[in-house]
Structure 1
């Protein structure tokens, strides 16, 4: 099983018995668990608990699961949150409404808690594999690992400060695409931080000194790009 303690699960249902049995089984499996009894409460909990996965009933008082899912899907902090709907209703329109609001999965009651926990474990295993694949980029003989903030060139470690690393990683995510200084300032430093465009030039120069001249190309009058044509 994946390291369950690294993941947080929010259980949302107005049936106290269902919440208790799911919370018990998820706790036993090692997950960090929070619970809510209606959609309105769930939306508030998501803001602070930041769950990796939500198990949510559709038919609830105050705010149903469909409306809660619609609101949660508009929250930037929950963009990657996996949502599984639970419902005793098997009508097609309920399923369609659930998926239209961004649900990832749909389970009809009665629930088999152990089977559901196994399903959640499989979801997190797939997610972990995707994240590992996305976190490591290769450009020529460079290997750039976002998870450990390391860069290797032909198996030799290259030490880059955080901003230099983020600049290299961002460009490597978009090979052969040209970014202006303003684009890079926006994506690496953010809109709320005031730095001069010259800062990008300085960081590019420092990265080139460490990884070599053949990777980051200057497109005169436009900006910079990672080139795969070494």
Structure 2
């Protein structure tokens, strides 16, 4: 049974076909395109459940595609494909609201697993309704809503899950490796820099209300500032 349509944006036909094949085997519908303009048109036309997006594209690159999607209030999950040495581009992509990334060369099975992890987060928690409060910040898991005082704060799915995980255990210090496993669903070798970038994004959106504290040499905790 089909599990939704995934848009694959990749200008190398062999890679696009490999990704299409593995996603199709896993039950996804797949449509492919090879440039940024076509990608934006396909997102609007086809309403995919997720986008697998190469950063290096002809014309409009992947980061600009992601930026335009988020500017249009389109929060479709985005998983970037990047070259191993493109750390700056990866970080920029995450800052623009991408949910995860896979570096080339990659295992197609890992890509499918990462995509499924992103979609599980997008589908929301399966546990009972929870409301977490730390200081002026409230996280409502059922409504997928974050407020800072009286103001609503718009977070990506990954940012939301990261904040909720920290606020569910206020004062508990989590290592970056623990956060990768709990929120992203994969092992530490994937790169703890991802955690730092997402924490920075959550802090920027919450401003002075942010309850996230850095514990040097350890990781992060959510707690009211003394």
TM-score (norm 1): 0.52
1:14-55 deviation digits (Å, cap 9, x = unpaired): 000011010011111111111110111100000011112111
SS of equivalent residue, structure 2 residue 85: coil
Q: Which residue of 1 aligns with 2:114?
A: 119
Distance 1:112 1:67 in 2: 25
Distance 2:96 2:122 in 1: 21
Distance 2:35 2:91 in 1: 21
Q: Which residue of 2 aligns with 1:107?
A: 102
90, 103, 121: which one aligns with 1:95: 90
Distance 2:120 2:87 in 1: 30
Q: Which residue of 1 aligns with 2:69?
A: 72
Distance 1:82 1:14 in 2: 20
How far apart are residue 133 of structure 1 and its match?
5.6
1:111-146 deviation digits (Å, cap 9, x = unpaired): 21112112222332333342x569x79xxxxxxxxx
SS of equivalent residue, structure 1 residue 114: helix
SS of equivalent residue, structure 2 residue 71: coil
Deviation larger for 53-62 or 90-99: 90-99
1:9 and 2:6 are equivalent in the alignment = yes
16, 19, 23: which one aligns with 1:19: 16
Q: Which runs of 5+ in 1 are unaligned?
A: 138-168, 175-230
SS of equivalent residue, structure 1 residue 60: coil
SS of equivalent residue, structure 1 residue 21: helix
**What root-mean-square deviation, in Å, do the aligned CA atoms of Structure 1 and Structure 2 show?**
2.9
SS of equivalent residue, structure 2 residue 8: strand
Q: Which residue of 1 aligns with 2:50?
A: 53
Distance 2:123 2:15 in 1: 28
Q: Which residue of 1 aligns with 2:38?
A: 41
Alignment of 1:151-162 (within 5 A): none
* Paired residues, number: 137
Deviation larger for 88-97 or 24-33: 88-97
